[in-house]
Amino acid sequence: MKKTDHHRILRALNYYLVFFLLVSFVITCCMMLFLSTLSESLKVTFTDAHLNTAARLTFGNVLLLSFLFTIFDMIRRKYTVSQPVKKITNAAQKIMQGDFSVRIEKINGVYGEENFNPIIDCFNKMAEELSGTETLRTDFIANVSHELKTPLAIMQNYGTMLQQPDLPEEKRILYAKSVTETCRRLASLITNVLKLNKLENQQLFPSANKYNLSEQLCQCLLQFEDVWEKKKIDISTEIEDDIQISSDAELLELVWNNLLSNAFKFTENGGTVSVSLTADKKDAVVSISDTGCGMSPEVGAHIFEKFYQGDTSHATQGNGLGLALVRRVVDIMQGEIGVESIKGKGSTFTVRIRRNHHEGLENNC
């Protein structure tokens, strides 16, 4: 006999015992009440023979009714409990095997099966989240692999050319610079991947300290001085003085550096990059604008996604992780980020950050 069959028999005997005791108690009470009432009303005295016959008949009825109740309850449980549980179990096994497309249909019944519907709703939502996560993970691995292969292939090619014994000095320097620049891009990619992974897995927590946001923006802007001088880009600034905020300066520096880097990257020679900072009692608002190529609404809807690059002509200058990193940092700071862009005329990124990060945490709890 199989172990499952043994358990089924024991479970059936338990059900039968429960119903036997229940029916025995109910019928015994009813019979005692009936006989007592009948004896008083008819003034009849029952003999031992009558009582023995009644007892045997009652016991037989108890056995029969208990059996019928047990059969009825097992059939009821099969359709109202076992089948829904089996559906959920089978779906869970498919999830365990990696099939995240499985969904469970809701149960519409009249015997209480609909009580499983909240569980089914939660299961379907879980399966949907897992499906999305698996898709993102697969895309992330594919994108990272592609982004790693490209600079490695470039370095390999230039490294091979540098091995030529009769290579002119000018070309040798040019190839060496290309290898160095590619190494820098590769290091930047790995750094951004690690930072984004820590932020998404909540391994990197913001530490709020009071500092001067106006000064930080100016310092970040000055880091690109060589770029704007080389491209002859005009700089326009409207930064209010001494705007103090309580936030994580290191994480916000990532935001400003990435936004400024994009602004200078997409602005053509002789263009303009504008930086503004305003503040009220609650928030500080930073806007970074450029007169670059801009983007269409379709591109703008995806720019904060990992590895997405709307303008492929500048793909060699980035890895598509900068804006995803910016978005994640702003979200952690309980801030807001938006973009307005007109294709061919430029883009404006606006970041709204709470001046007191502790208040943001309290309101978010």
Residue range 125-134, pLDDT digits in tens: 888 877 766 6
| pLDDT for the residue numbered 315 | 41
Domains, the chain, ranges and CATH? 3-102 (no CATH), 144-200 (1.10.287), 209-364 (3.30.565.10)
How do residues 186-228 score in pLDDT, each as one tens digit? 776 677 667 666 666 655 566 778 999 999 999 989 888 888 9
Say how far apart CA 274 and CA 291 lie, in whole Å. Answer: 9
Mean pLDDT of the chain: 76
Mean of pLDDT values over 246-258: 85
- In tens, the pLDDT along 282-316 reads 899 999 999 988 887 666 555 766 544 554 444 44
Bridge-based pairing state of the strands 283-290 and 272-279: antiparallel
| 104 contacts: CB under 8 Å, gap ≥ 6 | 87, 88, 91, 120, 123, 124
- Indicate whether 37 pLDDT > 70: no
pLDDT at 202: 59
Q: Whole-angstrom Cα distance, residue 244 to residue 247?
A: 10
> Looking at residue 10, what is its pLDDT?
73
Q: Which residue has the tokens 């160095």?
A: 180
Examine the pLDDT at 112 and tell me if it is beyond 70.
Answer: no
pLDDT at 340 over 80: yes
Spatial CB neighbours of 161, under 8 Å, sequence gap ≥ 6:
167, 171, 175
